[in-house]
Amino acid sequence: MMHKVKTAVCYLLGFIMAVGITSCDKRQEADLQPDKLLLISFDGFRYDYLEKAETPHFDSLAAGGVRAEGLIPVFPSKTFPNHYAIATGLYPENSGFVGNTMYDPDWEEWYRIRDREAVEDSKWYGGEPIWNTLEKQGIRTGTMFWVGSEANIQKMHPTYWKKFDDAMSFKARVDTVVKWLSYPGSRAIRFGTLYFEHVDAMGHRYGMDSDSVKAAIEESDRILGYLKNQLRRRNLWKQMNLLMVSDHGMVDLAADKVIELDQIITMDDAERIIWGPLTLIQPKEGKKAAVYEALKAHEKHYRVYKKEEIPQQYHLKNHRRVPEIVMVAELGYTVLDSEYKQPFLQSLPRATHGYDPFEKAMQSFFIAFGPAFKKDTTVQAFQSIHLYELMNHLMGTTPADNDGSLDSVRVLLK
């Protein structure tokens, strides 16, 4: 209702301006526009990374907005399932997006994040991402990279979107989304995304406490400063709600934290293995008991579950893309085979993610800033699954079916 009144006033002011009898400047005009929303992801930005480096821009947005003690990812705490869960409000078992690497037994097909054909194929992406929800309700959106936005989900795309290209400079990404936000009239977007991968990449390659991670955090801060500057120059800053998020945390790996799978099970009994902190094993026909019992007998520094035993809070078991046996490694442990052990040891120090999302180390950071949010407030960690509901609330739209609830995040709002 308020938006409608504001819009009507603005049209009137616009008309008066057009005939040249008012001093109403552009700034006032901008103040009367409905609020816009930017969802910004810094990949692999742990909940405590702001303490690691000088981050004046993050700090000032946190002081003027709301910070959470952590953002709890979905399981597995990997990039693709988490970006897609933020976009849809759905747990992996309900969106079907159960990993960075997936095998679908019905289709007998693989999904891998570097396989462009799969990444752009809508059939892997269940549910309704936020850009579709908004576009269906008349709001223009633009994704300056986001997992899922390159696929024709529900035969739709955001109005403006880009294919992921890690060679595109961070400045160019900001310039592009700011351009979309500042198009004249109805061409302008009201919802946009930004995505930056460098903090995650440096964490993997050099470990959490490396100078490279510190430098990447500081670079993120400079990007934020540049974004703020550009939005201010276009009189957009005051009407922007910003959600600064990440998809998961990070933990260092270690030479003495290895689980050698081929020392535990007969590898020949496995039809398929997807390796990682969550290792997925599809046993060969008739071999399920042998594989499970061997893993159970050696259950140290990992948990093993038959599919039907996977704990409820992981929200993973009700999907065909999850195989019959899963192993969840203890934080910091690596599941590998003897062949990979040597190269793994040589590649240390390094870090990864993908572990139990309720481990503190897997939590990421969250700051919200803008007219809708409280100021100078810190709230407890909450699950990223609720952000879809929050975004709908901010945009005044009706959400599609999802697993989140606005009540879980209302504490952020003024």
Binding site for Zn ion (CB under 5 A): 43-44, 79, 200, 247
Q: Which two tokens stand for residue 70?
A: 């952590």
Count of residues interacting with ligand AMP (CB under 6 A): 14
Which of ligand AMP, Zn ion, none interacts with 268 (beta carbon under 5 to 8 A by kind)?
none
The residues that bridge with 413 in the sheet, in sequence order, are: 373
Closest of 122, 101, 81 to residue 316, by C-alpha: 81
Instruction: Give yes or no for residue 78 binding ligand AMP (CB under 6 A).
Output: yes
Residue type for 381, please?
A: A
Q: State the residue for tokens 């302008």.
A: 188
Name the residue among 132, 128, 86, 112 with its Cα closest to residue 274. Answer: 112
121 scored as a contact of ligand AMP (CB under 6 A): no
Choice between 89 and 249, CB closer to ligand AMP: 249
Q: In the window 12-41, what residues touch ligand AMP (CB under 6 A)?
A: none
Cβ burial, residue 5 (10 Å; 0-12/13-18/19+): exposed
| One residue of 13, 30, 118, 201 binding ligand AMP per CB under 6 A | 201
Catalytic, 88? Answer no
Active-site residue (options: 7, 22, 79, 159): 79
As measured in angstroms, the least distance from the Cβ of 124 to Zn ion is 18
Q: Quick one: which H or E segment has residue 364?
A: strand 364-369
- Residue 164: name its binding partner from Zn ion, ligand AMP, none (Cβ under 5 to 8 Å by kind): ligand AMP
Q: How many CB atoms lie within 10 A of CB 9?
A: 11
* 113 contributes a contact to ligand AMP by CB under 6 A: yes
Q: Which of 1-9, 196-204, 205-213, 340-348 is the region at the interface with ligand AMP (rule: CB under 6 A)?
A: 196-204
Q: Which residue bears the tokens 């054909």?
A: 117
- Shortest separation between residue 25's beta carbon and Zn ion, angstroms: 43
Residue 248 C-beta: closest distance to Zn ion, Å: 5
Residue number with CB closer to Zn ion (124 or 305): 124
Q: Is residue 237 near ligand AMP by the rule CB under 6 A?
A: no
Q: Is 366 helix (H, G, I), strand (E, B) or coil?
A: strand
Among 106, 108, 117, 166, binds ligand AMP (CB under 6 A): 166
Distance from C-alpha of 132 to C-alpha of 155, rounded to nearest angstrom: 10
Q: Is the peptide bond before 277 cis (omega within 30 degrees of 0)?
A: no
Beta strands in 43-184 (DSSP E): 66-72, 102-104, 109-111, 141-144, 160-161
The item of ligand AMP, Zn ion, none sharing an interface with residue 197, based on CB under 5 to 8 Å by kind, is: ligand AMP
| Closer CB to ligand AMP, 276 or 370, in the complex | 276
Q: What angle do CA 233, 237, 17 make, to 5 degrees?
A: 70
> Which residue has its beta carbon closest to Zn ion?
79
Q: Which residue has the tokens 């892997």?
A: 124
As measured in angstroms, the least distance from the Cβ of 200 to ligand AMP is 5
Measured CA to CA, the distance from residue 238 to residue 1 in angstroms comes to 20
Q: Which amino acid is at 237?
A: W
At which residue do the structure tokens 């005939």 appear? 19
Per CB under 6 A, the list member of 93, 135, 200, 252 interacting with ligand AMP is 200
Q: Is 164 in the site for ligand AMP (CB under 6 A)?
A: yes
Of 85-93, 193-201, 227-235, 255-263, the window that binds ligand AMP (rule: CB under 6 A) is: 193-201
Residues in touch with ligand AMP (CB under 6 A)? 43, 78-79, 100, 113, 119, 145, 147, 150, 164, 166, 197, 200-201
**Residue positions annotated with a catalytic role:** 79
